[in-house]
Structure 1
Amino acid sequence: MAVGAQEGHGEAERPQEGPLGPEGPTAAPEAVADGTADGETAPKAAKQRSFWKELPLLIGIALILALLIKTFLVQAFSIPSDSMQNTLQRGDRVLVDKLTPWFGSEPERGEVVVFHDPGNWLEGEPTPQPNAIQKVLSFVGLMPSAEEKDLIKRVVAVGGDTVECKGTGPLKVNGKALNEPYIFAGNTPCSTDPESQFKITVPKGRIWVMGDHRQNSADSRYHQEQPGGGSVPVDKVVGRALVIAWPLNRWDTLPVPSTFGQPGIGTVASAAPGTLGALGAAAVFVVRRRKRR
């Protein structure tokens, strides 16, 4: 769906300077430092390139840098629908961190992420045909790409989590009810539509996503018949949306809501016995060594 430019200018020719003699700049040197004898002239410095000759090179460097930034660091994406209201409005531009996933970091609960269509979620949606200029701008990340079919939703649960919603809510993750002030005004956390009722344990390596406009978002709830029960593979995630960059009057960050940090919501409890066992074994080892001494 759907960043940088730079400009430069030529440098005026600098006057040539000879080395200063012991009597000051007006003294006539008997033999100058570059090896020319008295009366001979040194060769002139090569004429510098003009601005217009350097301009294509500067433009090329700018495009390469923009492409590298788009591919590995940050890319701008446009919001095409109302499914994330009021957090995101139609037409907003968000900057997405694409670097973190390269280091194997998986999405976390509460993050707003962009991901590739995992299984024809956008089937039937119209795809606009861009002109040549739009194709160039989208190639370097300065505008959305019409060819890429990406979605943006909030991560509600990650691999190993049990997520459920019945009736009008609340939405629960690992048995903990979420307080969701970011939900669109007038919406309920869940829907009375039987098709959108669910209780699922998210498979490892996948995430469960939902829109903040719960009654206007065709998210994981409506794709439970697909492999993974509506969850999205982690390798489909492009990156995390960090800020709303445009329009300027809507500039804002997209932090993780505090409700996802409440005690007990994580699945670390399952790993606790192993951790406690390791700590206990270490303590026994230390005690036995002290007794021997």
Structure 2
Amino acid sequence: MTPRLSILDLAPIAPGETVAESFANSVALAQAAEANGYERVWYAEHHNMPTIASSATSVLIGHVAGKTSAIRLGSGGIMLPNHAPLSIAEQFGTLASLYPGRIDLGLGRAPGSDHATMRAMRRDPMSAESFPQDVLELQAYLSGESRIAGVSATPGAGTNVPLYILGSSLFGAQLAAAYGLPYANASHFAPDSLHEAVEFYRREFTPSAQLAEPYVIAGVNVVAAESHDEAQAQFDSTRRTRVRGMISRGAASPEYTDEQIDIFLTTPNGRQIANMMKYAAVGTPTEVGDYLRNFAEEAQADELIIAHQSPQIADRLASVELTAGAMQAVSV
């Protein structure tokens, strides 16, 4: 069976681009996804990253929802230890009230930032330990069955915004299985745990009021273009930019040339960073379609959430359309 397709949009801020332009690109990407039959678009919570504009995730979701009409929108994810569950219930309850039937709430327990940023956010370093309890508290607010006497989420109560557990290790799979929630594996940047985590989740899944059968979403990088060489050049450019950002501890640094980055990628540390993008469909629509179908089967994924990795928005929009066409051509 052909998997459903969705998009993970990191709202990238390209060199020389403004935040407002990044948001306009996110709107265009969601509109293209909607026009081409994608299931949903998710935005990730990151902080103190000069190249990512999705830090105020719920605000961005609301903005894009107002510029689209049907596609589901949500978080991939909200880093719950950064927030009080009541606050997130109110934010996503507001979104669900404004855009009923279109809002998802993906949850992760990573900080989405560095230690200095954690302190700036007044985040307790131990707050991740209460993630399982916080998920239940949040779920109860959204169902209208608060676990805290005298406290109700308004908006939020009774909206039953669907929850998804995100994970890059076995922990997320264990929690999603125990709570009977859909599981999204961050295999687009943390590929090593994918198969073990999905196998555990499917084996140990317990049905819940939200979900009767296990449901797996797997992340994958994609660059689809009219020619293989064009797609590969776009992917190489994106990978170099990511490596520059990581070794510069921030925004991409102009002091590293493409040649220097390519040499670094041949070192053990460079290969480790390159492995983060191990799962990547790069090439013509036919090549991308074949890769994605094989990947979905091997990952036992019901849905693929795609990070379209072309550096320029025009190329990302083309990749969205070409990928959808390749998958739909086989499913018809």
Which bin holds the TM-score, normalised by the shorter protein?
A: under 0.3
Give 1 or 2 for the bigger CA radius of gyration: 1
TM score, norm. by length of structure 1: 0.22
Say which structure is richer in helix. 2
TM score, norm. by length of structure 2: 0.20
